[in-house]
Structure 1
């Protein structure tokens, strides 16, 4: 039996230059989307802001849609990293679950979150983007689902996974809606603190219920 060869991973100066160029393109695209919106973001404008040749950009991202999907993935990773960074002081368990609300809200304050909102909203009207965006959305939902399963397991209540998943989903859509209201409507998020506090109270009620159940079980 022949062993399949592993794909060759490019290394050396060329790979480093390519990675550096990609990073500049990602940063410039995020800035374009956040400042000018999806419709006004174009590959020539991104190349100009990134200070790379349009040929270099098109070599990595042949079309605007390729670029938009790459930025969506990039922005999603940045948001995830921000959540993890904000939760790093808390051990797995109730405290981490409670402060997950703050962590999600912090991730939505990043410019990458605005860029992701622009791409998501554009998928409703841009037919080419709409045809390809669902694959990204499905992968993202699967990632979030796995995180919620771990959340229920770390709370010691895998049997209540559905409840935890619903509460986590509510947190996400409520805070994303609040962020979109600020970005697209221009409304100041004076209500943000109250919404975050309410969502945390809801999570605290779940934690209190778990403590009460544990106490009864030990009687």
Structure 2
């Protein structure tokens, strides 16, 4: 997905539309996180956003259009949060290992819960499924570029892009499943620390192995 840039409003009408859109998307996230996908409807989101249903439908004619817009908005919020968390660590190996905690914290956000609600709903809604798959493809392309930069910049290991890609995918999949257990089902989080420690250890070993490979080899005299 291309980096999203803030659009420059043109005139008071554009500013009002942008403000209305922002309120609707924020309300959509809140509605999904609090009530779930099945209970989320355009009238409910409009009430929570404190806008008329006509204003909502003008920008998002159907629930699916609204949900896809909410998913994109929520993903950007989550992505930027995770990037900030990663950047708080020293560059290089620490940022690579710290990505585990960053992703886990990002999955606690209301925005992450909203995206997972939409993802689960896509299983039984054919139209939503096809369009959400396209959305996931765009986000995966963006994440792949980020992982490539991590492999090339943070770890200094451009030959290990595939491995970094795989470990990042493993991290997200494992922690998303853990979030489903703890956030959606309400199981105790006592086991979460063990999973996080295991994923961190996997990344630590990978970083150490790459570091050894990157060291200049001493030639035998």
- TM (norm. structure 2) is 0.91
- The equivalent residue for 1:38 is 37
Deviations 1:94-125 (A, max 9, x none): 11111111111111110111000000111110
- The equivalent residue for 1:11 is 10
- The equivalent residue for 1:163 is 163
- The equivalent residue for 1:119 is 118
Deviations 1:115-144 (A, max 9, x none): 000001111101221232121011011111
Deviations 1:132-190 (A, max 9, x none): 21210110111111111111101111111111111111111011110011232221222
- The equivalent residue for 2:22 is 23
- The equivalent residue for 2:138 is 139
Q: Please report how far the alpha carbon of residue 210 of structure 1 lies from its aligned counterpart in structure 2 after TM superposition.
A: 2.3
What are structure 2's unaligned runs of at least 5 residues?
1-6
- The equivalent residue for 1:83 is 82
- The equivalent residue for 2:4 is none
User: Matches of 1:45 and 1:127 in 2, distance apart?
Assistant: 23
Distance verdict in 2 for CA 1:9–1:185, change over 3 Å? closer
Instruction: State how 1:193-208 maps to structure 2 within 5 Å.
Output: 193-208=193-208
User: Matches of 2:196 and 2:101 in 1, distance apart?
Assistant: 7
SS at 2:10's partner residue? coil
How many residues in Structure 1 have an aligned counterpart in Structure 2? Answer: 212
SS at 1:78's partner residue? helix
Q: Please report how far the alpha carbon of residue 207 of structure 1 lies from its aligned counterpart in structure 2 after TM superposition.
A: 1.6
Do the aligned partners of 2:157 and 2:214 also contact (CA within 8 Å) in 1?
Answer: no
- The equivalent residue for 1:213 is 213
- The equivalent residue for 1:172 is 172
Do the aligned partners of 2:151 and 2:160 also contact (CA within 8 Å) in 1?
Answer: yes
- TM (norm. structure 1) is 0.91
> What is the aligned-residue RMSD (CA, Å)?
1.6
User: Matches of 1:90 and 1:12 in 2, distance apart?
Assistant: 41
User: Matches of 1:9 and 1:172 in 2, distance apart?
Assistant: 33
Q: Does 1:152 align with 2:154?
A: no
User: Matches of 1:30 and 1:214 in 2, distance apart?
Assistant: 44
